[in-house]
Amino acid sequence: MADKETVIGSDTRISGEVRGEEDLVVRGRIDGKIQLTQTLTVEKGATVQADLDVGHLVVLGAVVGTIVASESVKLMSTARVVGDLASPRLTMEAGAAYRGRVDMGDIAAARAAASSRAVQRPAVSEKPAIRPAPPRMATLAKAIVATKASAPVAPAAARSTVTPSASVPAPASPPAFPRVAGAMGAMTPAWAKKKIRRR
Amino acid sequence: MAKEKDTKPMANTVIGSSIVIDGEITAEESLTILGTVKGKISVAQNLAVEAGATVEADVEAQTVTVNGRLTGNVVARERLELKPEAKMVGDAKSPRIVIADGAGFKGNVDMDV
């Protein structure tokens, strides 16, 4: 249909919403939202920080955001992707870095969930720095090690910073699993807490 | 890196005819629009709004070539050209302005004289 494919050049940046019914190749940067019926290709060196609703997705660069692909997703060896992913077909090459949840089941449900989530949160307010995805286990292990070292101190210390006068209930009701509670409360950022709790 | 690209006559960024962009585009290279763009466009080199394209945006570029529909204020640092099929509504600011026979234009012209 399209006589020319759409190319976002390497020195071009788009912030906002991109919609279309043709192939889109990104060599530069897009922040916001992309809705495409055909193939989205994120080239090496390109950055896409957007919620994606596409037909096919091929990633050689960096993608941060929720991904819904109605046909397929290919993460090539240079790909770095962070975000939940829903697609009936998924290919991942050796070397690809990915963090998030994969759903190869009901795409319609995933799309509905993604769009409702997109409404709730601000589109591009926060900009997580793109870095090689740290293994989740490492974060967890670090937190556990740290808590082991300071397990008895951590809950009381945390409480005393909030309300210094709350020394009465402190010894009365320690949490059922003080180590875990300490790890979650003190060491782990909010997003990781959510992930850990799901397990 | 950018100098290599200058030698290429082709635009580096192309917005295809079925594409709709709502937001801001910043390009340190040339940009060709065949689809629809709403918002704001800032281009370091040439901006081409091809026939069939619709642009509702404030535009800033080195040279602007319009053969489609453009609504918004245009600042072309070097040259603004309206081709025969162009329909433009908005203020135009550029040291050189070319309007071809057949082109439609409504708005103020500022050539810095």
- Of A120, A152, A180, which residue constitutes the final position of a domain? A120
pLDDT in tens, A5-30: 799 999 999 999 999 999 999 999 99
Which of A101-105, A178-182, B36-40 has the largest mean confidence?
Answer: B36-40
Residues 6+ apart with CB under 8 A from A178: A151, A152, A155
Is there a domain that residue A125 lies in? Answer: no
**How much is the average pLDDT of A43-57?**
96
If one counts the domains in chain A, the total is 2
Does one domain contain both A99 and A149?
no
Which residues from chain A sit within 8 angstroms of residue B17, using beta carbons? Answer: 2-4, 22
Assign A1 a pLDDT band (cuts: 50, 70, 90). very low
Which residues from chain B sit within 8 angstroms of residue A22, using beta carbons? Answer: 16-19
Is there a domain that residue A189 lies in? Answer: yes
Does one domain contain both A160 and A66?
no
Residues 6+ apart with CB under 8 A from B97: B76, B79, B80, B81, B82, B109, B111
* Residue in A with minimal Cα distance to B29: A11
Assign B73 a pLDDT band (cuts: 50, 70, 90). very high
Which residues from chain A sit within 8 angstroms of residue B29, using beta carbons? Answer: 9-12
Does one domain contain both A161 and A107?
no
Does one domain contain both A110 and A141?
no
* Residue in B with minimal Cα distance to A27: B13
Are B21 and A36 a contacting pair, CB within 8 Å?
no
Interface touch B12/A14, C-beta < 8 Å: no
Does one domain contain both A108 and A156?
no
- Of A120, A145, A166, which residue constitutes the final position of a domain? A120
Distance, in angstroms, between B60 CA and closest chain A CA? 14
Give the structural domain span for A141. Answer: 136-198
**d(Cα B37, Cα B35) in Å, to the nearest integer?**
7
- Of A92, A120, A148, which residue constitutes the final position of a domain? A120
Does one domain contain both A175 and A79?
no
Does one domain contain both A105 and A12?
yes
Distance, in angstroms, between B40 CA and closest chain A CA? 10
Is there a domain that residue A115 lies in? Answer: yes
